[in-house]
Amino acid sequence: MDKVVLAYSGGLETTAAIHWLKHTRHLNVIALAVNVGQGSDLDVVAERALAAGAAGVHVVDLRRTFLKKFCWKALKAAAKYEDRYFMSAALSRPLIATEAVRLAQDEGVKMIAHAAPPRGNDQFRLECSVAALAPDIEIVAPLREWKMKTREEVRNYAQKNGLDVDAKSNDQYTRDLNLWGARCSGGNLRESHEAANADAFVMTRDPLQAPEQYRDVTVSFIKGEPAKVDGERLESIELVEKLNALGGEHGVGRLETIEHSLMGFKIREVYEAPAATILHCAHDALERLVLDKDTLIFKRTTAPVYASAVYQGAWFSTLREGLDAFVQTTQEYVTGDITVRLYKGSATAISGDSEFSTYDREAVSFDKLGGSLPKGAAEGMLTIHRMLQLNRSFKQRPRL
């Protein structure tokens, strides 16, 4: 029997996919479970895969790689899809695809499978990543091939074949969770006129139930990358876990949104990203402190382009690589400390300091008339600006 590497989460669809691939496609399945901070007991996940018929299981902890090589890059790029979503799921897919390709090549396997839904975004992210890394590998997508059309049918298939599925498979929602955030869809979220139910949220407290006392947290960056929280040097995983806990306690990082999927549909999602929200807030404030105006403005124009590339599955593209090169240049002096206030769902940068700050208190002070400006500097600049307006007024009629 030929072999196939299956990107395995331990959920209903991927567990059913193991059985289907083995008994319908007659393939030996090697299940790949990647730890990106989803909170699942991966030993249990591995046992479930074997019980479903997998010939082997590979479990790998890539949390640090996920943060350092993917999330930190998106953070430095200020990338948010449609200026809202921190792309926790989208950022993890090229990493999972990379590991699947590595495993397939090590095992001499010519096929990679996934259980992404036919109308979803993940099929694009996974398959485009595999195509970029190993164009000779064939993709197998059970959910596009089998006859089952609903989760209920898949659940019945699992029960009929005695498959051990995650208890969460009966959840009305479809979820995705990792260190960078949580995604939730389905359930009453299908109704745009209804507010999300409380059980849609798993990482954050309801802001109305958050502490009455605010919490100030100081994040330190070195060349654009988070390094400390409240003065304590932390490894990337610990840092994000700490900020997730702090932000979650204060209801920070919730988002209910309508976004546009890769296939053009409007989809309703609930997202939670406490750590990402705090870090993006702090990073933005630090950039404002150290970057010059023109660089800051131009960098803001590249952020949505970067986010769109990630969302659409173009991580392994010249565009993303080129944007990263530009972004990395801008981060040379993004080093310093920013204090963010967490209060009932909000995260607000309230103060900051950097040895590379270009903020000049004396130049903008109103305490001294003229401040530190050379005599006549303001008059000279005003003359130029007035000339520009006068030139226009002689030729054109200004409008209110």
Q: What is the DSSP letter of 263?
A: T
Is residue 93 a contact partner of residue 70, using CB atoms and an 8 Å limit?
no
Same domain assignment for residues 387 and 349 = no
Same domain assignment for residues 66 and 165 = yes
User: What average pLDDT does the segment 194-219 reach?
Assistant: 97
So what's the pLDDT on residue 95? 99
If you write DSSP's letter for every residue of 6-22 in order, what string do you get?
Answer: EE--SSHHHHHHHHHHH
CATH number at residue 267: 3.90.1260.10
Same domain assignment for residues 201 and 141 = no
Range of the domain at 369: 365-395
- Measured in degrees and rounded to the nearest 5, phi and psi for residue 152 equal -65, -40
Same domain assignment for residues 345 and 375 = no
pLDDT band per the 50, 70, 90 thresholds, residue 302: very high
So what's the pLDDT on residue 368? 62
Q: What is the DSSP letter of 349?
A: E
Is residue 123 a contact partner of residue 142, using CB atoms and an 8 Å limit?
no
So what's the pLDDT on residue 372? 66
**What dihedral angle (degrees, nearest 10) is formed by the CA atoms of 341, 344, 346, 351?**
-10
Alpha helices of 265-315 — where are they, by DSSP H?
A: 274-290, 293-311
> What are all long-range contacts of 292-297, with beta carbons under 8 Å and residues at least 24 apart?
292/358, 295/330
- Both tokens of 203, joined, read 């990482």
What tens digit of pLDDT does each residue of 16-63 get? 999 999 999 999 999 999 999 999 899 999 999 999 999 999 999 999
Q: Is residue 52 part of a domain?
A: yes
pLDDT band per the 50, 70, 90 thresholds, residue 1: confident
Same domain assignment for residues 156 and 197 = no
Q: What contacts 41, CB < 8 A, 6 or more positions away?
A: none
Please identify, among 149, 170, 191, the residue that sits at the C-terminal boundary of a domain. Answer: 170
Handedness of CA 332, 333, 335, 341 (dihedral sign): negative
Q: Is residue 337 part of a domain?
A: yes
Same domain assignment for residues 197 and 140 = no
Q: How far is 315 from 311, CA to CA, in rounded Å?
A: 8
| Number of domains the chain is built from | 3
Same domain assignment for residues 280 and 345 = yes
Same domain assignment for residues 180 and 74 = no
So what's the pLDDT on residue 390? 82
- Name residue, tokens 């046992």: 47
Same domain assignment for residues 189 and 127 = no
Please identify, among 134, 153, 170, the residue that sits at the C-terminal boundary of a domain. Answer: 170
Q: What is the DSSP letter of 39?
A: -
CATH number at residue 90: 3.40.50.620
Q: Is residue 370 part of a domain?
A: yes
Same domain assignment for residues 250 and 156 = no
